[in-house]
A and B are shown apart, each in its own frame.
Chain A
Amino acid sequence: MSKSRIGIWSNASLTLKFLAIAVPLTLVVTMTTFALIERERRSGAAQALDDRISKLAEIQGDAISGPVWNFNQTQIDLILEAIVNDPDLIGITVRDERGEPLGRIGLTSGDAVRAQTAQIFRVKDQPEPLLIGDIALHYTQGRLDSAAQQQVQNAILLTAFMALALTVSALVALQYAVRQPLVRFGKAIDAAQETSRYIPVEVTTGDEIGNLAGAYNTLQQKQKSDEAELRRIQDNLETLVEDRTEELKNAIDTLKAREREILRARDDARNALNSLQRTQDRLVQSEKMASLGQLTAGIAHEIKNPLNFVNNFSSLSEELLEELTDIVQACADKIEAEQAEDAIELVETVSGNLHKIQEHGRRADSIVRNMLLHSRSGPTTLQDANINAIVDEALKLSFHSARAEIDGFNIEMISELADGLPPVPCFPQDLSRVFINILSNGMYATHARRTSGEPDYAPVIHVSTRDTGTGTLEVIIEDNGPGMSKSVIEQIFTPFYTTKPAGEGTGLGLSISYDIVVTQHGGDIVVTSTPGSGARFVITLPLTGREDTPPGANKEPTS
């Protein structure tokens, strides 16, 4: 039922609808039929009345001819009175042949009065019937009308009764033939709807409702099979969609995996390139350092030979001069005392000079030894070592060395070494040398600042280690010495560059340290400093050993 049809009529029950149509229709049809029949009957009745009155007039004309012939008024009146008892008659008029009235009875109301006139003849004693007057019977159709009215009332009653009977029987028929099957039908549909199952409606009749139920069953079956088909198609579709989704997901996964591979490959390539560049840099640096080291070693060795003579001949000469002094003293009496004194003084001066030569020779020897320390090859394979132990030992060694060298040296040492650091693949002795170099420099710097007369200055050296979490360890050495200018930092790793006074430094310590950390270990040293606020050295060491062994750190020719 479409919404637009909702209304009183549409919502009214089937019975109501039936009553609304059947009752008035029955009434109208029945009443029309009765009206038509009544009209026909009434016109027939009127005709019959006319005929009867006409006949009555002829009869009464015959009956009354005697008295009229005799002009017997009494008899005429008697006859008229007798006639007028007829219920249809309202009056009678009798006239002679000239139209003179002979008698009259009734006739009070002239309107709506019909009249039937019959001629009165004298047959008795006459050769031919002789017209002697006429008789007019006046009558109305009033009795007819009242009869008709009664008829109509009866008809209406009958009609009402018939309509009632019809309606009741029709309602009963409707109830059993239509409504009940329809309600059953509706219930079946509701049940089917509620359970969503196929519930056939019981077909008990062959009428339209039976046909409808059959059609409904067929439809439901068809719907059922259609639904099954739909479900099958839907299932297929779902399976298809799932399959396709799975395929797509796999494809996406594959693509993602490929993307990851590509990214990894790109990263690998980038890392490889970086590593290659670093290796190249290191190789270049190590080549430089190697040739420099070889040169240094060569020079150092070649200097050792002349140094051998310088040192030994000077010490020998000193001894010889002692002998000469003995000789001079032994023959002091043979020369003048003044000359002897001069001679001895001269010998002493020469002896002092020779002593200086020895001293400087030893200094040169120490420089050469330092130079060789680095060019000398150590172990060729990396060892896993505890960086904290190396740093701690280096700190102690540097401190004792500084105390031994400088009278009254003191410094506050703060050491913050991280716990649980992984072992570092390294050359421990070389690393130790690096830390000692940097720590000693720091201590020297603080001493220099302290002796510059700054009030309230407390020398501090701060050492810490940490795991950067990116595959490297850091050793950070900070001092609060005078710091360095940018130009000093730029040259700090250059061999033979030193800021110490002549004779106090070789200028090789940091250059060697740089070589050890960068070339040998593949690490890095970064220096930051602001003049007046100390220096900070950050030594970074990789946790993964270098794939290649160090290039023998400048092997010198063996001979």
Chain B
Amino acid sequence: MTMTPVRILVVDDEPDMEPLFRQQLRRDLKKGRFELSFATSGRDALSLMDEDEPPSVVLVLSDVNMPGMSGLELVARLRPLRPSLTISMVTAYDDDETLAEARARGADRVFSKPIDFALLKDYLNDLIAA
């Protein structure tokens, strides 16, 4: 059964996020279920999405608190460009205000740090199934 890998863009200013994600999702990656891309800033993420033609990224997982463009700003910019794109936030600032603002700007879900990968994997599975 061949399936087109789901392409996920992880945006975080912490470079260690790439090995963490790659290791945590290594089995799925081996199975070719996901394809991961990483950006360390909002700007990088935007240019990466700009080059994504035809659109292959179905999920953006973005940090909120980043130098330069914040995750919330990124969502606000991306949302009009890709209305059908699923955008979720991963943040240490998971208070009510931030959650509300993220939703208002078009984010679909907010995950808090430290990341509960079991929860995240369930979410990704649901997304693929959809």
Residues of A within 8 A of B (CB): 300-302, 304-305, 307-313, 315-316, 320, 361, 365, 372, 376-377, 556, 558-559
Contacts and interface: CB of A to CB of B under 8 A. Distances in A.
Contacts of A313: 20, 23
A311 B114 contact: yes
A376 B24 contact: no
Contact of B14 (A305, A310, A365): A305
Contacts of A361: 114
B64 A304 contact: no
Task: Give chain A's interface secondary structure class.
Answer: helix
A527 to B, nearest CB: 31
A10 to B, nearest CB: 118
Given A305-B14, A312-B20, A558 B114 contact: no
Given A301-B93, A558-B101, A308 B72 contact: no
A312 B112 CA distance: 13
Question: Which of A300, A305, A309, A311 has its CB near the most chain B CB atoms (within 10 A)?
Answer: A305
A365 B24 CA distance: 20
Interface in B41-100: 64-65, 70-72, 92-93, 95-98
B126 interface: no
Closest 8 A-B residue pairs measured CB to CB?
Answer: A304-B92, A308-B114, A308-B113, A301-B92, A311-B114, A559-B70, A376-B95, A304-B113
B109 to A, nearest CB: 17
A312 B115 contact: yes
29 contacts: A301-B65, A302-B92, A304-B114, A307-B113, A307-B114, A308-B20, A308-B92, A308-B113, A308-B114, A309-B14, A309-B16, A309-B20, A310-B114, A312-B20, A313-B20, A313-B23, A316-B23, A320-B23, A365-B114, A372-B95, A376-B95, A377-B95, A558-B93, A558-B95, A558-B101, A559-B64, A559-B65, A559-B72, A559-B98
Nearest to B65: A559
A304 B63 CA distance: 12
B92 A305 contact: yes
Contacts of A304: 92, 113-114
A556 B93 contact: yes
Question: Which of A307, A309, A313 has its CB near the most chain B CB atoms (within 10 A)?
Answer: A309
A320 to B, nearest CB: 7
Nearest to B19: A313
B97 A558 contact: yes
A313 B20 CA distance: 7
Nearest to A361: B114
Contacts of B24: 312, 316
Interface residues of B, number: 21
A305 B71 CA distance: 15
A308 B116 CA distance: 9
A312 to B, nearest CB: 6
Contact of B97 (A308, A310, A365, A377): A377
A377 B99 CA distance: 13
B123 interface: no
Contact of A558 (B14, B20, B98, B117): B98
Contacts of A312: 20, 24, 114-115, 117
Nearest to B14: A305
A308 B95 contact: no
A401 B99 CA distance: 29
Contacts of A376: 95-96
A556 B23 contact: no
Given A302-B92, A312-B20, A320-B23, 19 more contacts: A300-B92, A304-B114, A305-B113, A307-B114, A308-B20, A308-B115, A309-B20, A312-B114, A312-B115, A316-B24, A372-B95, A376-B96, A377-B96, A556-B95, A558-B93, A559-B65, A559-B72, A559-B93, A559-B98
B12 to A, nearest CB: 9
Contacts of B20: 308-309, 312-313, 316
A559 B105 CA distance: 13
A372 B14 CA distance: 22
Contacts of B114: 304, 307-308, 310-312, 361, 365
B23 to A, nearest CB: 5
A367 to B, nearest CB: 13
Contacts of B92: 300-302, 304-305, 308
Contacts of B96: 376-377
Interface in B27-46: none
Contacts of B23: 313, 316, 320
A305 to B, nearest CB: 6
B13 to A, nearest CB: 9
A23 to B, nearest CB: 136
A23 B34 CA distance: 169
A372 B20 CA distance: 25
Contacts of B97: 377, 558
Contacts of B115: 308, 312
Nearest to B118: A315
A269 B37 CA distance: 67
